[in-house]
């Protein structure tokens, strides 16, 4: 594991958003959704592709909060511009589990 400094960590801007739209992303290589996420007034609405399709239905994701890196350069994924990276971890039963606050958080709040 490569070590980083605290200053390196401070460069990663991880914020709370609320998923406001979920659609299938048929052109993606893996089972994927296109997400629209509201990060509040400061950041606004951003889009992302996320490989949560094998673990969640669109209804299970809609209106849920999530954590995402908001200061990466946008990435073109199969013709779709992914503006933020929604965080996920390997789920115990396979697939990817979304990372989200345990309690409701303020939209746009930063992870420290």
What is the rounded average pLDDT of the residues 5-9? 95
Q: Please give the structure tokens belonging to residue 111.
A: 């992870």
CA 46 remoteness from chain centre: 10
pLDDT digits (tens, 9 = 90+) for 62-92: 999 999 999 999 999 999 999 999 999 999 9
The full set of domain ranges for the chain reads: 6-98
SS3 31: coil
pLDDT at site 30? 87
Q: Nearest 5°: CA angle at 97, between 91 and 99?
A: 130
What is the fold, at CATH topology level, of the domain defined by 6-98? Answer: OB fold (Dihydrolipoamide Acetyltransferase, E2P) (2.40.50)
pTM beyond 0.85: yes
pLDDT digits (tens, 9 = 90+) for 28-51: 988 899 999 999 999 999 999 999
């Amino acid at each position: 594991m490569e070590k980083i400094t605290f200053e390196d960590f401070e460069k990663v801007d991880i914020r709370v958003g609320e998923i406001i739209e979920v659609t299938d992303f048929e052109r993606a290589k893996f089972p994927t959704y296109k997400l629209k996420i509201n990060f509040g007034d400061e950041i606004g609405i951003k889009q992302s592709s996320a490989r949560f399709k094998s673990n969640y239905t669109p209804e299970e994701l809609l209106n849920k909060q999530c954590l995402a890196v908001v200061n990466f350069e946008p990435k073109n994924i199969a013709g779709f511009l992914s503006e933020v990276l929604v965080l996920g971890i390997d789920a115990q039963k396979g697939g990817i589990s979304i990372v989200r606050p345990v309690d409701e958080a303020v939209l746009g709040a930063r992870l420290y």
